[in-house]
């Protein structure tokens, strides 16, 4: 069982993530954030459960919707927001944006456009760690939509035969942009697919961070034994549209979204903490203010930062050894 301290930490992290992403979306509406921004509002319970189960030295390969994991693992919200704002002071100086952001210092090793490919990147990283005798575990978070890419199954097969310490974390939020999962597969649980590769598996309720944390811990314990990969399917739901700009009510109803909001992970943990006398109205207010301030400062930092210098367009195409 997890202790009260961790429960309080996860509660605060969920509030932090939701406020950060909500502000980032606002930035997009104001024309400050460009391209696509995929928020995970509703999925914070799954994110904090996964992130807190990791050891600091473990590596996480993420999807485009896992800003929350980056925040949990320690990415400073100021350069993070500045990256979304495409500023010189951003994590990657305005060259990655939301989709390709990473944080090598805290073991977040990036995400990519072909979503199934992240599984291959994670498999390769886990292989390299094993090759070099490193003890760390690796995880990859990906969606049920990209789970219909052959890329994922080739990767699961490689991870299985190479017996690498890797946890496949499938975040099943039911929709691939607008396409519901029940129209693209007859699978009702993706753990069936893991069985095909002799990969042990479990499912977790993603609206319950405690359950996710415990199942993730067990998954990591397993892969650290060196017996090979593990597969965890986390059932969750995003409340927002796919990205900053689509109309979600073309493909699902407000009633459906409301039904999931009744299961909101922040509200659920809040009730739990209140029941345990670990939280009251004043404390809730205080925590909300704390993260309003932190996120507000990040927005201010991003907004007041300069654009990248124009000659940066040419830097880091190649290593320093190559001149064109």
Partner 1 sequence: MREIKIVDALNEAIREEMLRDENVFCMGEDIGAKGGIFSVTKGLLDEFGAKRVRNTPISENAFTTAAVSMACNGGLRPIVEIMYEDFIGVCWDAIGNQAPKIRYMANGAYEMPIVFRMQGGAGFGEGAQHSQSWENLFCHIPGLIVMMPSTPYDAKGLMKTAIRSNDPVVFIEPCTLYNSKGEVPEEEYLIPIGKADVKREGKDITVVALGQECANALEAAEILAKEGISLEVIDPRTLLPLDFDTVKKSVLKTGRLMVSHVAVKNSGYGAEVAARIVEDKEAFAALKTPVCRVCAVFTPVPYSPVLEKAHFPQVEDIVEAARAMMK
Q: Is residue 147 part of the contact set for partner 1 (CB under 8 A)?
A: no
Whole-angstrom distance, CA of residue 208 vs CA of residue 27: 29
**Contact pattern from residue 49 through residue 88 relative to partner 1, giving x for each residue in contact according to CB under 8 A and a dash for the rest:** ----------x-----------------------------
Report the DSSP beta bridge partners of residue 140: 61, 168
Q: What binding mask, one character per residue, do residues 106-145 give for partner 1 by CB under 8 A, x or -?
A: ---xx-xxx--x-xxxxxxx-xxx-xx-------------
Q: Does residue 321 interact with partner 1 by CB under 8 A?
A: yes
- Residue 115 CB, shortest distance to partner 1, in Å, is 11
Per CB under 8 A, contacts with partner 1 among 94-113 are 95-96, 100, 102, 104, 109-110, 112-113
Q: What are φ and ψ of residue 76, in 5° steps?
A: -60, 125
Q: Are strands 166-172 and 230-235 parallel, antiparallel or unpaired?
A: parallel
Q: Which range of residues in 27-35, 153-161, 185-193, 285-293 is near partner 1 by CB under 8 A?
A: 153-161
Nearer to partner 1, 247 or 314 (CB): 314
**Closest Cα to residue 64, out of 91, 98, 34, 104?**
98
CA 12, chain centre distance (Å): 16
Cβ(44)–Cβ(18) below 8 Å? yes
Q: How far is the CB of 319 from partner 1 (least distance, A)?
A: 4
- E strand intervals along the chain: 59-61, 138-143, 166-172, 175-176, 179-180, 201-205, 230-235
Catalog residues that contact partner 1 under the rule CB under 8 A: 59, 92-93, 95-96, 100, 102, 104, 109-110, 112-114, 117, 119-125, 127-129, 131-132, 150-151, 154-155, 157-158, 161, 315-319, 321-324
């Amino acid at each position: 069982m997890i202790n009260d301290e961790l429960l309080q930490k996860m509660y605060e992290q969920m509030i932090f993530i939701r406020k950060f992403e909500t502000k980032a979306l606002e930035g997009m509406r104001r024309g400050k954030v460009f391209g696509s921004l995929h928020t995970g509002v509703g999925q914070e319970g799954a994110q904090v459960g996964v992130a807190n189960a990791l050891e600091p030295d473990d590596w996480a390969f993420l999807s485009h919707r896992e800003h929350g994991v980056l925040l949990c693992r320690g990415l400073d919200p100021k350069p993070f927001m500045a990256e979304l704002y495409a500023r010189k002071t951003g994590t990657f100086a305005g060259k990655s944006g939301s989709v390709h952001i990473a944080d090598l210092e805290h073991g977040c090793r990036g995400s990519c456009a072909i979503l199934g490919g992240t599984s291959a990147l994670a498999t390769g990283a886990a292989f390299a760690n094993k090759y070099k005798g490193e003890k760390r575990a690796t995880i990859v978070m990906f969606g049920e939509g990209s789970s219909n890419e052959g890329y994922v199954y080739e990767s699961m097969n490689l991870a299985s035969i190479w017996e690498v310490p890797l946890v496949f974390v499938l975040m099943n939020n039911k929709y691939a942009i607008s396409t519901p999962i029940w129209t693209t597969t007859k699978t009702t649980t993706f753990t069936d697919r893991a069985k095909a590769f002799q990969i042990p598996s479990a499912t977790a309720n993603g609206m319950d961070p405690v359950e996710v944390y415990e199942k993730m811990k067990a998954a990591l314990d397993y892969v650290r034994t060196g017996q090979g990969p593990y597969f965890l399917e986390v059932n969750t739901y995003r409340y927002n549209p796919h990205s900053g700009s689509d109309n979600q009510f073309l493909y699902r109803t407000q009633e459906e979204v409301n039904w999931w909001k009744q299961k909101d992970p922040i509200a659920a943990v809040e009730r739990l903490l209140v029941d345990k006398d670990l939280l009251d109205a004043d404390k809730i207010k205080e925590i909300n203010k704390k993260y309003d301030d932190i996120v507000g400062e990040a927005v201010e930092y991003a907004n007041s930062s300069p654009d990248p210098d124009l000659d940066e367009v040419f830097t880091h195409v190649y290593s320093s050894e190559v001149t064109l």
